[in-house]
Amino acid sequence: MTLMLTLFGLLIGFTLGLILALMRVYGAKEVGWLASGYEKLFRGIPLLILIFIFTFGIPSLFWYLEPLERPIAGVVLALGLRSGAYQSQIFRGAILSVNPGQMEAGRALGMSGIQSFRHVVFPQALRLAIPGWSNEYAVVIKDSSFAYAVGIIEMTKAALRISANFPELWALSMGLVAILYFIFTYPVTKLFGERQTKKLKDLGMGGG
Amino acid sequence: MDKTILKVVDVWKSYDDLEVLKGISFELAEKEVKVIFGPSGSGKSTLLRCINMLTPPDKGEIYLSGQNLMAPEVNLNAIRSKIGIVFQHFNLFAHLKAIDNVSIGLRRVKGLTKEEARVKALDMLDQVKMKNWAEHYPAQLSGGQQQRVGIARALAMEPNLILFDEPTSALDPELIGEVLQIMLKIARAGTTMVVVTHEMGFARAVASEMIFLDQGVIVERGTPNHFFQSPKSERVKYFLRQIDILYGSHEALLKEPNEEEIK
């Protein structure tokens, strides 16, 4: 459950973040304001509040789902909308750190602006975004634990339940959960963060 | 001279209050090599960027094989695919191997299949003596090698003309030769070229005309012989003396004129 919440939250955030970043980098001034307004809003609200809003606050939001699935959808949406605000910043930074000469060379070959972005700037921006992105994964997977507050059985809730039934196991179950989060987080940030940073250096990309 | 490839008519360009080009005109015939030189800030690079419309001029006209590029209905992407450019800082696509740098335009702009583009790109890399480096990324190549790939990338599109924007000025001295050699070779093979450079040896070897640009205007133009034997304006004479010092004639350095002599 924890992994599913994280996966879908990140996926929504990825799509949203990419769109917001494009709005901010290439859009007209007003479009950029809209995107940066969104970022400010969702970076400024605690996740728990967002989760409450999308589950209890607007209970009819997911009217077409089974009642038991509604809070799950609410949590995924909250994680995704907030992650989008952060991922937008990751992508925006990545797009901007691709050397302007790259876009220029693409245009000079006769590619359109969209082609140049699609085949030249975007593939490089994606690589540049990976270290920041692996960090965002670590944030989202840990924040998915807030889902326990609306009754979803994910890792944290499961641990709390065990310790409620067997109080003597509280320390053990909590310790186990902490270790599990760490196991899910560390290798990913290690692999994508550090290895990609080295790879980027080999390609001479990012930070000149 | 035969067929006119490029015609630049009274081109003006300014950035905000700064006037960079103030009425530039010249023509370029097929297979002609024109060298543009002058001090930094004279508008040389801006002129090249105007020609391929990366920064369209404010005023004036540019004709490529008779077609007016300033006309509103012109498809600039199609036009740019017919004008190659070799950049001072190479601008190779950092995420692509040498071979893919050369073939990307063939595939995305000219619509060749992957296999066709690969064959052609390898042939182009062979022409710049980089075939053995086809599978390397730009960061794994020396500056001279990167620039040769840059030349192959421009050649592959079979453009009407190729613009060179100070192609050797970002290179270590030892690497300049290999790039100039390739440029000489393609010039002699009949490539139409506009070259912004201070490499006077190159100019002397292949340029049909040299244009000296200063502060956005053409100060003087003529054959290489004209410039090396009897340049007219003081500005050009001073500039050529500086170039001479740069390339090692130390007599010139000792005879360095004092401030008052430089207008």
Show the domain range for B44.
Answer: 1-75+192-263
Residue among B15, B21, B84, B65 at smallest CA distance from B211: B21
Say if B130 falls within a structural domain.
no
The Cα–Cα gap between B32 and B194 comes to 8
pLDDT bucket at A201, cuts 50 / 70 / 90: confident
- pTM equals 0.85
How much is the pLDDT for B252? Answer: 53
Say if B112 falls within a structural domain.
no
How much is the pLDDT for B258? Answer: 54
Contact A35, A24 (CB under 8 A): yes
Identify the CATH number of the domain in which residue B15 sits. 3.40.50.300
User: Which among A98, A109, A111 is the top mutation candidate for probing chain B, defined by the most B β-carbons within 10 Å of its own β-carbon?
Assistant: A109
Q: Give the CATH number of domain A2-203.
A: 1.10.3720.10
Q: How many residues does chain B have?
A: 263
Using the predicted structure, report yes or no on whether residue A208 has a pLDDT greater than 60: no
For A120, which of B83, B87, B93 is closest by C-beta distance?
A: B93
Q: How far does CA A73 lie from the centroid of its chain? A: 16
Mean pLDDT score, A125-129: 92
CB count, 10 Å around CB of A199? 13
CB contact under 8 A, B91 and A104: yes
How confident is the model over A62-100, as pLDDT tens digits? 878 888 788 889 999 999 999 999 999 999 999 999 999
Total count of domains within chain B: 1
The Cα–Cα gap between B157 and A109 comes to 8
CB contact under 8 A, B91 and A105: yes
High-pLDDT (> 90) share of chain A, %: 52
Burial track A104-134 (b if 16+ CB lie within 10 A, e otherwise)? bbbbbbbbbeebbbebbbbbbbebbbbbbbb
Contacts of B139 in chain A (CB under 8 A): 202-205
Crossing angle of helices A29-43 and A70-96, rounded to 10°: 130
Q: Is the four-CA dihedral A168, A173, A179, A182 of positive or negative sign?
A: negative
Say if B183 falls within a structural domain.
no
How much is the pLDDT for A206? Answer: 60
For chain B, 263 residues long, the average pLDDT of each consecutive 10-residue run is 86 92 94 94 93 93 93 92 95 95 95 95 95 95 95 96 95 92 94 94 93 94 92 91 76 56 48
Dihedral, B152, B157, B158, B161 alpha carbons, nearest 10: -80
Say if B244 falls within a structural domain.
yes
Domain residues of chain A, as ranges? 2-203
